[in-house]
Amino acid sequence: MNNGDKFEDFPNDPLFSELRNFAAEPVSASDEALIPLLEKYRASKPKIRRPFVKAIAIPAIVIGFGIPSLAYAGVLPKTLSHQIETAVRSVRHAVGKPVVAIAHNIASLTSDNQAKNVTSPSSSPSESSGASSPPVATPSQSSGASSTPAPTLTTKNEEDHSSGQDSQSGGSNESNVASSKSPLPLPIADPRPTHSEDKSHQESSATPRTTSPHGESSRTPSLNPTGENQDSGEGVSVAKSPLPTISSTRSSTHDKEQESKRTPRPTPSGSGIPSIPTLSTDGGDGSETDD
């Protein structure tokens, strides 16, 4: 141990005393030599994140965009490309769902704001009718309006106008029906540009259907609430199906069933079936309100 300790202590041997003194002397290096070092030291700061970017982010982007594009291009095997496509679809769905929810929330907020603006006392009736016009496009609201009989609607609407308040749900239809019957010419030009278009669309699409007997059968119930969709569906089925009779009969029976389902709706209010012709004679509005 003593020999080992002596050996460990050999740098303190007098033989190397001058060398040790030489090594301990400060070098005559000025601080100017430190300046480029400090500049290099400063320059090394932003390089901290480079390894992360190079190692993770860039390969992730390349893989995330490259492999799906290869799959869609058909370069990869079918099974693998199918799996990738399903994965991409699921990702799209997962990403799109919250976006749609956010858009729906924004739309509802804006409609709420519009309703608040409408309900404010400074708003004129024309503004209220204009503001309440957009909900007409939705079939659910229009169907809600159709459940109430027309005479009661007029009275309600008159009351609403007299009080200066307009309810958002179904208010447009009520106001429109009221405007058609009220003596005051309310500016309700807006009510249904969409419905008029739909009506014209129905009319235009009705002409080929008159040629086919099944088209007539499906067309006759103008009070069909979902007539637009069904008509279009029938049109497609008639045009494409090799057996038009089967599809048309199905559609006609389906329409009749729907008619039979819809027609009893006004009856509980007491007006009954006779109210239907009055609605249909209102023109496009009447038929659409039944939607």
One of 5, 14, 33, 183 touching other proteins (CB under 8 A): 33
Instruction: Tell me how far, at minimum, the Cβ of 12 lies from other proteins, in Å.
Output: 9
Q: Which helix (H) or strand (E) holds 137?
A: none
User: Does residue 5 belong to the site contacting other proteins (CB under 8 A)?
Assistant: no
Question: Most distant CA pair in the chain: distance in Å?
Answer: 128
User: Does residue 7 belong to the site contacting other proteins (CB under 8 A)?
Assistant: yes
Whose tokens are 């029976």? That residue is 253
Instruction: Tell me how far, at minimum, the Cβ of 91 lies from other proteins, in Å.
Output: 36
For residue 285, which amino acid is it?
D
User: Does residue 100 belong to the site contacting other proteins (CB under 8 A)?
Assistant: no
Nearer to other proteins, 9 or 239 (CB): 9
Instruction: Tell me how far, at minimum, the Cβ of 18 lies from other proteins, in Å.
Output: 5
- Binders of other proteins: how many residues, by CB under 8 A? 31
> In the structure encoding, which two tokens stand for residue 286, read together?
């009447």
CA distance 25 to 97: 73
CA distance 234 to 230: 6
User: Does residue 184 belong to the site contacting other proteins (CB under 8 A)?
Assistant: no
Nearer to other proteins, 42 or 78 (CB): 42
Query: How many helices and strands in the chain, by DSSP H and E?
Result: 16, 0
Contact window for other proteins (CB under 8 A) among 27-35, 129-137, 189-197, 282-290? 27-35
Instruction: Tell me how far, at minimum, the Cβ of 9 lies from other proteins, in Å.
Output: 10
Nearer to other proteins, 45 or 93 (CB): 45
For residue 129, which amino acid is it?
S
User: Does residue 16 belong to the site contacting other proteins (CB under 8 A)?
Assistant: yes
Q: What would you report as the CA-atom Rg of the chain, rounded to the nearest whole angstrom? A: 40
One of 1, 5, 14, 23 touching other proteins (CB under 8 A): 23
Q: Mapping DSSP to helix (H, G, I), strand (E, B) and coil, where does residue 41 land?
A: helix
Q: Which helix (H) or strand (E) holds 247?
A: helix 244-262
Who's near 252: CB < 8 A, 6+ residues apart? 214, 217, 218
**Per-residue x/- marks for other proteins, 34-73, CB under 8 A?**
xxxxx-xxx-xx-xx-------------------------
Please say whether the beta carbons of 216 and 210 come within 8 A: yes
Cβ neighbour number for residue 57 with a 10 Å cutoff: 11
> In the structure encoding, which two tokens stand for residue 179, read together?
């405007």
Please say whether the beta carbons of 136 and 192 come within 8 A: yes
Using CB under 8 A as the binding rule, the residues of this chain from 103 to 162 that contact other proteins are none
Instruction: Tell me how far, at minimum, the Cβ of 2 lies from other proteins, in Å.
Output: 15
One of 27, 94, 95, 100 touching other proteins (CB under 8 A): 27
User: Does residue 20 belong to the site contacting other proteins (CB under 8 A)?
Assistant: yes
Q: Site residues (CB under 8 A) for other proteins?
A: 7-8, 10-11, 15-16, 18-20, 22-27, 29, 31-38, 40-42, 44-45, 47-48
